[in-house]
Amino acid sequence: MRVLGVDPGLTRCGLGVVDGAPGRALTMVRTGVARSSPDAGIGDRLLAIEQQIEEWLVACRPDAVAVERVFSQHNVSTVMGTAQAGAVAIVCAARHGIPVALHTPSEVKAAVTGNGRADKAQVTTMVTRLLRLADPPHPADAADALALAICHIWRGGAQTRLAAAQAQATQARAAQVRAAQAQAGSAQAAQAQAAQARAAQARAEQARAEQVRTAQAQARAAQARAGTEQAAMRPAGWGQAGGPR
């Protein structure tokens, strides 16, 4: 895995690219800083940082970008500038479709030195040893960026596997929900079909009953007509008893 570490800042934005994998030797690919003039406007400064990060992404083609997570500090103007530079790095990575991870300073220190409260000198010393460098990275922003990249290589794999497992679990739950919905839909369809069959049977029975009633009415009418015709055909001298008077 190749990771670009970004230690965000407006005047100096530390950048460091490291190749490696958990349990394997690490190799520094490139390190340096993206700079902007303190005398320039905020828009020009962010644009300058963006253009330099873009150049690094194109030249180094990292698999992931690790950015330091900014937290509250006493100097609000400083933390604002740091957060803005970090956001620029995130946007640049997103433009290239590169995944981004955020790591806190204590997380990086713990990953590199084993101590979440280590100072910058200790971090720089361990980065120099881990990357087998002849001289410590300079300036300190570059060393911090390399430490971010190392942290992500060592911890990012576990985080990626955890995220993948969570995604698989989510997909499995979604599949179960869809299956339950499909079963419920099938049951509802079967109930609807049964109701339709019962309604059709009821209509058929009603139709048969209506036919029977119609036939009976027609039979009674025919009998009445036959009786009337017989009465009209009797001789005038025949009495009610059926004989002559």
Q: How far apart are CA 155 and CA 240, in angstroms?
A: 120
68 classed as catalytic: yes
> Residue 150 burial by CB count (10 A; 0-12/13-18/19+): exposed, middle or buried?
buried
List of E strands, the chain: 2-7, 12-19, 27-35, 64-68, 100-103
**Quick one: which of 58, 143, 126 has its CA closest to 95?**
58
Catalytic choice (19, 50, 68, 144): 68
Long-range pairs of 196-204 with CB within 8 A, sequence gap ≥ 24: none
Could you say which of 7, 19, 50, 144 is catalytic? 7
Strand-pairing partners, residue 28, are 18
Whether 63 is a known active-site residue: answer no
Asked if 18 and 3 count as a contact pair (C-beta separation under 8 A), the reply is yes
19 is catalytic: no
Q: Which is the catalytic residue, given 50, 141, 144, 210?
A: 141
CA atoms within 13 A on the CB side of 108: 28
Annotated active-site positions, please? Answer: 7, 68, 141
